Chain A
Amino acid sequence: MKQEIIISGFGGQGVLSMGKILAYSALMEGREVSWFPAYGPEQRGGTANVSVIIGDERISSPIVSTFDTAIILNQPSLQRFEHCIKPNGTLIYDPYGISTPPTRTDIHIYRINAMDVAAEMDNVKAFNMIVLGALLKVTPIVALENVVKALRKTLPERHHHLIPLNEEALHKGMESVTSVHQP
């Protein structure tokens, strides 16, 4: 099954690295994958986004206009991508950055209070792994153990002591995600 995913939020939230870890996890499973970032000037303080496509056959276009799953972490991203989710697709969002919640009724909508959970963990840097945990719970695209392997692969060795913390964040994300709307 091919999964076309968009992850979008503020620059600095770890959007690109979340996508990278997801892509590496797919690589660990021997699957086909493409990762394409928005690399424009808007990354500084504005919206950052990345498209990750995971499939069993070679990915033709790394750029698509509709997505199976959207992870939305701020209001501008919701405005830009809510209408790009395929009918019956999935939207996961953190209400912390959202003033006007999603309105679509033909998609699966989930909420992850990742900012709050990160604050409870007293580690804002765990934010993106909490969100990734939520994604894995809702759409198990890749196995959790491969995400941990991917962390080991992508993090420089001097940061490997942080892997248990990241694992904890993934688990918290999986526990904390809640359903908001089902079509």
Chain B
Amino acid sequence: MQQPQETMLLKGNEAIALAAIRCGCDGFFGYPITPQSEILETLCKEKPWETTGMTVLQAESELASINMVYAGGATGKKVMTSSSSPGVALMQEGITYMAGAEIPGVIVNVQRGGPGLGTIQPSQADYFQSTRGGGNGDYEVIVLAPSSVQEMADFIGLAFELAFRYRNPALILSDGVIGQMMEKVVLPPQQPRLTEAEIAQRYPWAATGRSKNRGSNYFTSLELHPEAQEKHNLHLQEKYARIRKNEVRYEEYQCEDATYLIVAFGSAARMAQKAIEDLRKKGIRAGMLRPITLWPFPSERIAQLSTQVKGILCTEINAGQMVQDIRLAVEGRTPVFHYGRLGGMVPTPDEIENALTEMIDNFSNENHE
């Protein structure tokens, strides 16, 4: 029987855990770290191994976690891990191996301030880590940036869908604000986990045991012959081009008549939206583009909007990372500024409002960058 769509009040981290169970996830492997420990905690409280049969394991380290995801994904299972910034830094080797071996899997990063162990407070300073990769080689990771507890729940299913569609790791880039805050959420309906037969049928590439009908399925990112490795790389690049073409996601807020554009993702977009509400009350026509996929990046739409607006303000909880992708998209058609706070300090809507007002003042003084 279909469960009624109950509106719940949940922390972002709790929503991730409950949505993972609901979307038929086969396994979670993780190691606790603030501000995302509630994910593992909620899973342990829910005991999904008694209901859906989902495995939940506290691994001995982040390295173990990501390599368990590598192995689970290779067998066609929906598996995931979660961590926070320094923990995800440790996982970069596993992520590039997954990209190289074309293994699907989901990684959740509830970001905290860095560099190094940094702080436990919210941050968005892992934009480069996520979209540029801390791992080696020419590879891309699909990056989704939720800006609400609802999206934390919704993006788990979406991340698995994309990871399996393209046989590529998908990363949910959240932060301490969205992970720790509570708001209303409707969880997805309970989906059954795939059976072994369904996996073998859907994913002929998966390591599902020996079969008379096909040769061995094996997974490696190693290919010592450069001709073959180049061929493999070209195949990956062709796949990345398809992802860029098909999977760009973004949301616009009051862009239709906007003279000034704010670009912000995740929690920063929430603060920016409030700033826009307040700016509009003062008669300033500000709008926002919120990239939902950070890779692939909505460059084309930003390029279009850059011809409509007098200036763009990128607000991030970092020293200026996504702003580089905006500048690449804008190609100098309009000035692009950045406002951010660092090290676990979170910008308030007032600060963003002031930053945009300052930008406008700069224009009236003809004091362009």
Contacts and interface: CB of A to CB of B under 8 A. Distances in A.
Given A63-B271, A64-B274, A37 B180 contact: yes
A74 interface: no
Contacts of A62: 177, 181, 183, 270
A41 B120 contact: yes
Given A35-B182, A37-B180, 19 more contacts: A20-B182, A27-B184, A32-B184, A33-B9, A33-B183, A36-B177, A36-B181, A39-B34, A39-B35, A40-B120, A60-B349, A61-B271, A61-B274, A61-B275, A62-B270, A63-B346, A64-B348, A65-B349, A65-B351
A83 to B, nearest CB: 13
Interface of B: 7, 9, 34-35, 120-121, 176-177, 180-184, 270-271, 273-275, 277, 346, 348-351
Interface in A7-35: 20, 23-24, 27, 32-35
Given A32-B184, A63-B346, A65-B348, A39 B176 contact: yes
A97 B346 CA distance: 28
A183 to B, nearest CB: 23
A23 B176 CA distance: 19
B183 A63 contact: no
Nearest to B148: A58
A59 interface: yes
Given A61-B271, A61-B273, A65-B348, A39 B9 contact: no
A40 to B, nearest CB: 6
Contacts of A40: 120-121
Nearest to B149: A34
Interface string A60-74: 111111100000000
Nearest to A52: B182
Closest 3 CB pairs of A and B: A61-B274, A35-B182, A60-B273
Contacts of A35: 9, 181-183
A60 B9 contact: no
Given A60-B277, A62-B270, A34 B183 contact: yes
Given A27-B7, A40-B120, A64 B349 contact: yes
Contacts of B121: 39-40
Contact of B182 (A23, A60, A66): A23
A33 B184 contact: yes
A59 B121 CA distance: 21
Contacts of A37: 180-181
Contacts, number: 66
A32 B176 CA distance: 21
Contacts of B270: 60-63
Contacts of B348: 61, 63-65
Contacts of A61: 270-271, 273-275, 348-349
Contacts of A65: 348-351
B9 A59 contact: no
Nearest to A154: B9
A91 B183 CA distance: 25
A33 B346 CA distance: 20
Nearest to A57: B277
Contacts of A32: 184
A34 B176 contact: no
Contacts of B180: 36-37, 39
Contacts of A20: 182
B159 to A, nearest CB: 23
21 contacts: A20-B182, A27-B184, A33-B9, A33-B184, A35-B9, A35-B182, A35-B183, A36-B180, A36-B181, A39-B35, A39-B121, A59-B183, A60-B273, A61-B271, A61-B273, A62-B183, A62-B270, A63-B348, A64-B348, A64-B349, A65-B348
Interface in A156-180: none
B274 A34 contact: no
A61 B277 CA distance: 10
A27 to B, nearest CB: 5
Nearest to A28: B9
A87 B184 CA distance: 30
B175 to A, nearest CB: 12
A23 B9 contact: yes
A77 to B, nearest CB: 18
Nearest to A65: B348
A46 to B, nearest CB: 14
